[in-house]
Structure 1
């Protein structure tokens, strides 16, 4: 009699194969994730490149001046210190003014700048975290991670640069450079060469960077340190900033300074009692209104010449401030 030989795998053999497949997946997954992040970062850089070119095109059409963040074409000419909630000042952020130059002319043409731009864009469906997204204003590395917390008005990831601006203390948090030029938590006012707190001025001499919080914006001639050495836009995570979360078209949201270190963590929405020393509170403007991203190790920036650079979060603090300022006379090589 002949016995039939059974064809198949033993349990041990199957377990060995499964283990090998698991090891291969474990080895390949980080590489796949790294490749995906590299692609997302490239797209984010392309977005910033478009923003830089859009500002150049805007300036070419507006006597070499960069776009302002409020009071654009406002016949009422209400003093800029008036309440931000009033329609007289809600004439749209810098990102609204450059819409025609990022292939969004049809949207721009629907807006009546005599009225309240914020309310008009709300009505057009751009309000809320579920509203229409502006792809060119959104970094794919962020997705929804940094934009879904309470109060986040819209998805976007790019803020304008006020530079090395004085940022008065709040809740006991202040940042100064230590003896080695690195940020350290100390008392007093924020370190900065722009002398008006939070950039809340239209006086050119009191702004370090190329935009103020209000309606002043630089001309190319004002950037005496050179356009290749001065930051124009940088990445932000809106819901990690008290004002950033107002949305891309709010006149009181985009203002961002280089004073706070890159990627300083204010993303936990941790509230602390008044006068408590906690620089990680989302309401601490010194650190929350700073540039930050979801990219590991740093953030991307558009410079005033239209180029894009990735700056590491370990960048020398003094060097970072010099890149933020347009006219401190300290030109530095971009890392």
Structure 2
């Protein structure tokens, strides 16, 4: 007569299977993240090449804010840098649509053009490791930003702007005197959740925190101690925050399509700005690169190479990599 399994034996087998699954699950998750990270890197590589092709065509990079021709347009209603790159990532039809709707970029980007952008999610602008903006009506979020350099941006003097992408004035390869292989051009950021009622440090932007250090490393160093003091003040003031990071890829402001290298990648404190009421990042401030990849963030250098920059990078080295013309002798390890 055949002998069956006892209850104890079945329980032991189930327990062994459970242990094996528990051991296997982290490996599966790691493999999935590796695949997502590779796709994210590939997206950034294509954007880097698109920026190069734009430069080849127009002999300059697009500014990160292209003001609408209409003088009544507000500063944050200009056109963001990712719109300029659309024809160079096989999105000529979408670019032409935006150009038509905006009357050759005369109209302010809100609300007419926003409706085109909001309803057009692009895989090229989305890192699989990131989370899309959770809105059925706004699907055109972005995981990627252009670098404004090691300065707090927006209202600072033009002479202190030191990134590959300028605010209103186009920059050229000839202006990257530190070398294209030593200068950051693009990076990642995380998307928010649109819930201003709940604060989340990694994806929210804190407002109303005055900045008292140098506005740019063109003026002199911005130190770890100064950043830590500012970060602590920002964390303490998190009751005034906005949760719309990465909301629209067509906009020209910091939390949507621009970052700076003032603070290191995945900074432990929230992104932060002095403006008290700005809903978008139309203010100077500290807007770090961020990702959900363990240990760091992908960046694209001005030579279009993609490098993974660890969150423990030396701050002065990172500032040097963010600056296109600071004469720093720096290279990524």
- 1:10 correspondence with 2:6: yes
Farther off after superposition, 113-122 or 303-312: 113-122
- 1:109 correspondence with 2:96: yes
Q: Of residues 222, 243, 265 in structure 2, which corresponds to 1:262?
A: 265
Could you tell me how far apart the structure 2 residues matched to 1:217 and 1:200 are?
A: 17
Aligned length: 270
Unaligned runs of 5+ in 1: 168-197, 275-281
- 1:222 correspondence with 2:175: yes
2:64/2:258 contact within 8 Å kept? no
- 1:157 correspondence with 2:107: no
Alpha-carbon spacing, 1:152–1:217, altered in 2? closer, same or farther (3 Å):
farther
Q: CA deviation at 1:6?
A: 4.5
Could you tell me how far apart the structure 1 residues matched to 2:145 and 2:23 are?
A: 37
Could you tell me how far apart the structure 1 residues matched to 2:108 and 2:285 are?
A: 29
Could you tell me how far apart the structure 2 residues matched to 1:285 and 1:142 are?
A: 25
SS of residue matched to 2:321: helix
**Which residue matches 1:148?**
134
Q: Of residues 113, 120, 135 in structure 1, which corresponds to 2:123?
A: 135
Unaligned runs of 5+ in 2: 100-104, 193-202, 206-243
* 1:294-333 equivalence runs, <5 A: 294-333=292-331
- 1:34 correspondence with 2:30: yes
* 1:155-304 equivalence runs, <5 A: 155-165=141-151, 167=152, 198-200=153-155, 203=158, 205-212=159-166, 214-239=167-192, 240-242=203-205, 244-252=245-253, 253-265=256-268, 286-287=285-286, 289-304=287-302
Alpha-carbon spacing, 1:120–1:223, altered in 2? closer, same or farther (3 Å):
same
2:164/2:324 contact within 8 Å kept? yes
SS of residue matched to 2:17: helix
**Which residue matches 1:47?**
43
Q: Normalised by the size of structure 1, how large is the TM-score?
A: 0.73
Alpha-carbon spacing, 1:315–1:218, altered in 2? closer, same or farther (3 Å):
same
SS of residue matched to 2:98: coil
Larger radius of gyration: 1
CA RMSD in angstroms comes to 2.9
Could you tell me how far apart the structure 2 residues matched to 1:103 and 1:36 are?
A: 27
Q: CA deviation at 1:27?
A: 1.1
Higher relative contact order (CA 8 A, sep 6+): 2
Could you tell me how far apart the structure 1 residues matched to 2:84 and 2:283 are?
A: 28
Q: CA deviation at 1:285?
A: 6.5
1:223/1:326 contact within 8 Å kept? yes
Superposed CA offset, 1:53-74 (max 9, x none)? 00000011102x10123336x5
Could you tell me how far apart the structure 2 residues matched to 1:57 and 1:118 are?
A: 28
Q: CA deviation at 1:265?
A: 4.2
Q: Normalised by the size of structure 2, how large is the TM-score?
A: 0.73
Could you tell me how far apart the structure 1 residues matched to 2:269 and 2:125 are?
A: 21
Alpha-carbon spacing, 1:62–1:284, altered in 2? closer, same or farther (3 Å):
closer
- 1:84 correspondence with 2:75: yes
SS of residue matched to 1:163: coil
Could you tell me how far apart the structure 2 residues matched to 1:284 and 1:32 are?
A: 42
